[in-house]
Amino acid sequence: MPATTPTREFVLGLPKSELHLHLEGTLEPELKLALATRNGVDIGQSTVEEVRKTYVFDSLASFLGVYYPAMNVLVEEQDFYDLASAYFLRAATDGVRRVEAFFDPQAHTSRGVPIENVILGCSRAATDAADFGISADLILCFLRDFTAESALATLQEALPYKDLFIGVGLDSDERDNPPAKFAEVFALARSEGLMLTMHCDIDQVGSIENIRQVLEEIKVDRIDHGTNIVENPELVELVRERGIGLTCCPVSNSFVTSDMKATEIVELLGRGVKVTVNSDDPAYFGGYIADNYLALIEKSGLGIDDVVTLAKNSFEASWLADDEKALHLAEIDHYVESYSDAAASATAAESV
Ligand code: ADE
Ligand code: ZN
């Protein structure tokens, strides 16, 4: 395989898995306006342009300050269904075959929305994503700036629906909210057979200590972001050895910090870490998954081989069964072969 730069067409068609995607982060202005009208919620804007103008931030905290109030338009089970379905339909156009999507129940229950509206709406959409050629599962995230007691109460409220999500995660504002604060609730989730992941956001105070905690104390199966691990060779070796995936989000990184961390992502890839590329909150950061691959390619000059490794990593780091992973990996090999054959035929045709 030549180390040529992948085209947009190649990236769009490449089968891939999305492992770091907040369903609430897919709320496009058009849907936000439609839901505001449907539910009689005054959001203070009446056009797409006005809503887009509010999507302005330069740090994790300022992003979250826009993100949570926007969720007021999500009330009924159908709202969550419509939100998630719109995302799955959009993801399919980017070659996505598998999604393990986050949702934040506390962002809704804290405003009086019943947890079943959230879980049942998202879960019905995840099932129906099969119509778009996507297998989808859900990850229930706790808000780390809420108390550990609130996380525990949320898990207990969600456990009757345990068959409708495959794991738990931790998101929101990392400052002063280290992983160890949630050790008990994550231990309970593990004992209930759930998979574990946690955000270790970019360039946080205590990033390395938090990454150490998620690996050594919480014993997560995956890390969301986690790119600062590059600063600590021993931790890099630990994730490499354990095959723990890092769900990186280049476009989001460039909004909440000063750059997309392409150098760090590529360095980790080169060191054999299961780095993956994802979109985080695409409606807010303006990039779905293919845009994230393309931004990274443009910034770092990655060739086809590395991009194929990233796509393969996205299935290997997923929580699919081994036989399902193998099918997706074979589909990637087939795609790359057909693409090379088509390129070779085009070159041959040009030379006659
Ligand atoms: N919630 C939604 N997106 C997030 C992110 N990138 N970090 C932390 N919490 C989030
Ligand atoms: Zn995230």
Q: Whole-prediction pTM value?
A: 0.97
Q: Which of 18-27, 52-61, 138-147, 151-160 has the lowest mean pLDDT?
A: 52-61
| Cα 341 to ligand 2 centroid, rounded to whole Å | 38
Average pLDDT over residues 193-211: 97
| Digit-coded pLDDT (tens) for 46-84 | 999 999 999 988 889 999 999 999 999 999 999 999 999
pLDDT band at 1 (very low <50, low <70, confident <90, very high): very low
pLDDT band at 108 (very low <50, low <70, confident <90, very high): very high
Q: Mutate which of 102, 146, 176, 201 to test ligand 1's pocket (most atoms within 8 Å of Cβ)?
A: 201
Q: Shortest CA distance to 225 belongs to which of 168, 276, 301, 290?
A: 276
pLDDT above 60 for 299: yes
Average pLDDT over residues 272-292: 97
Q: Are 210 and 204 in contact (CB under 8 A)?
A: yes
| Digit-coded pLDDT (tens) for 205-221 | 999 999 999 999 999 99
Q: Give the dihedral of Cα atoms 248, 250, 251, 253; nearest 10 deg.
A: 80
Binding pocket residue ranges, ligand 1, CB within 6 Å: 22, 25, 60, 171-172, 199, 201, 252, 280-281
Average pLDDT over residues 267-290: 97
pLDDT above 90 for 4: no
Q: Which two tokens stand for residue 181?
A: 């604060």
| Cα 156 to ligand 2 centroid, rounded to whole Å | 23
pLDDT band at 136 (very low <50, low <70, confident <90, very high): very high
194 phi, psi to nearest 5 deg: -90, 150
Pairing of strands 16-18, 245-248: unpaired
pLDDT above 90 for 191: yes
pLDDT above 60 for 276: yes
Q: Which two tokens stand for residue 54?
A: 């509010």
Q: Are 201 and 169 in contact (CB under 8 A)?
A: no
Average pLDDT over residues 188-214: 98
Give counts: helices (H), strands (E), the chain.
Answer: 17, 8
CA distances from 110 to 104, 114, 168, 178, 293 (A): 11, 9, 18, 22, 35
Ligand closest to the CA atom of residue 255: 1
* pLDDT above 70: percentage of residues in the chain: 99
Q: Are 115 and 157 in contact (CB under 8 A)?
A: yes
Q: Mutate which of 104, 260, 280 to test ligand 1's pocket (most atoms within 8 Å of Cβ)?
A: 280
* Mean pLDDT across the chain: 96
**Residue 97 three-state SS:** strand
Average pLDDT over residues 146-166: 98
Q: Which residue minimizes the CA distance to atom 9 of ligand 1?
A: 172
Ligand closest to the CA atom of residue 21: 2
CATH class of 8-346: alpha beta
pLDDT above 80 for 2: no
pLDDT above 60 for 281: yes
Ligand closest to the CA atom of residue 26: 1
Q: Which two tokens stand for residue 170?
A: 């931790």
pLDDT above 80 for 344: no
Q: Which residue minimizes the CA distance to atom 8 of ligand 1?
A: 172
The per-residue b/e assignment along 278-296, b for 16 or more CB within 10 angstroms, e otherwise, is bbbbbbbbebbbbbbbbbb
| Cα 27 to ligand 1 centroid, rounded to whole Å | 14
